[in-house]
Amino acid sequence: MENAQTKKYDFFLEGRNGKAVLLIHGITGTPSEMRYQAKLLNQAGFSVFCGVLPRHCGTLQELKKVTWQEIADACVKDLNRLKEGHEKVFVGGLSMGAVMSIHLAYLFPSKVSGIAALAPTLFYDGWALHKGKILMELTWHMPFVRNLFDIREGWPYGLKDEELRENIERFYKNADAKQAYKKVLLFGSPFFPMACLYQHHIFTKVAKKEFRSVNTPIVIIHAREDDMTSLKNSRYVYDNIGSTQKSLVILENSYHMITIDKDKDKVATELINFFNKL
């Protein structure tokens, strides 16, 4: 589903080297979490596109309706549009977007020249997560349960950067699930619907079966202290991906949101160097 009111927040930066990067933000997130990386990639010569994922950046009720298939279909369309005008297209994503990047390479190995998996999320096992998630995993298969519950984003909000964390915390703490906020376009949803967690869960079950068949070069970047998804996620991707050209970069000064956290410049450098080699 494409919404004209939210699609206007897509962004495209024209490059000069004939190569393009498709960036995919995380589920419940927003293109703003990819903009810093996009700016530096573009300065290095790459065209960069990041679109609002279906049903995102609007109301919480609309977000709850999204399916992983809708997200995949939208990303396929974005990939095909970029491929029409560029000799090489790379795909990079954050969190679930990282797993979606691998899925695209599985579907279209001839169209994806390289993958950047940023804090890939296969399971939520970070140090800041509520221990009640086990109960959630036992009940989210029931539609009336997963459509009822929304999980408020909690400290530290994926960020080690104290100043940025304070800005986001002011918005998140005062958010009401029944209201829509313009700042969702900047910070992402202050609530994580159980329905979205369930879609993420069933998508990763599909994606993990595809890993061995993916031979596209890949760089995996993950923070050692990720508060949402431990380093085990990236190690799983590294150990199970079929690619022979692969690397795992571990960050020492960030939490989950590595595209905007304290190591954001290192992330950009790694991406630029990786894509330039391909």
List the one residue out of 37, 96, 94 whose CA is nearest residue 70.
96
pLDDT of residue 130: 63
pLDDT, tens digit, for every residue of 100-109? 999 999 999 9
Grade residue 89 by pLDDT with cuts at 50, 70 and 90: very high
Query: Do 169 and 162 meet the contact criterion of CB atoms below 8 Å apart?
Result: no
Task: Give the β-pairing of 246-251 and 218-223.
Answer: parallel
Average of per-residue pLDDT across 242-258? 98
| 4-277 under CATH 3.40.50.1820, yes or no | yes
Question: Cβ of 273: how many Cβ atoms within 10 Å?
Answer: 11
Grade residue 145 by pLDDT with cuts at 50, 70 and 90: low
pTM for the predicted model, two decimal places: 0.91
Inform me whether the pLDDT recorded for 1 exceeds 50: no
Average of per-residue pLDDT across 135-164? 73
Euclidean distance between CA atoms 74 and 140, whole angstroms = 25
Domain ranges across the chain: 4-277
Could you tell me which residue, 222 or 62, shows the higher pLDDT? Answer: 222
pLDDT of residue 151: 72
How confident is the prediction for the chain on average, in pLDDT?
88
Query: Do 238 and 128 meet the contact criterion of CB atoms below 8 Å apart?
Result: no
Average of per-residue pLDDT across 164-176? 75
Could you tell me which residue, 238 or 129, shows the higher pLDDT? Answer: 238
Grade residue 181 by pLDDT with cuts at 50, 70 and 90: very low
Q: At 215, phi and psi to the nearest 5? A: -115, 10
Euclidean distance between CA atoms 154 and 49, whole angstroms = 29
Query: Do 215 and 98 meet the contact criterion of CB atoms below 8 Å apart?
Result: no
* Burial classification of residue 181, based on how many CB atoms lie within 10 Å of its CB (0-12 exposed, 13-18 middle, 19 or more buried): middle
Average of per-residue pLDDT across 112-126? 96
DSSP tally for the chain: helices H, then strands E: 12, 9
pLDDT of residue 167: 85
Query: Do 278 and 217 meet the contact criterion of CB atoms below 8 Å apart?
Result: yes
Say whether the peptide bond before residue 156 is cis (omega within 30 degrees of 0).
yes
Query: Do 121 and 233 meet the contact criterion of CB atoms below 8 Å apart?
Result: yes
pLDDT of residue 266: 98
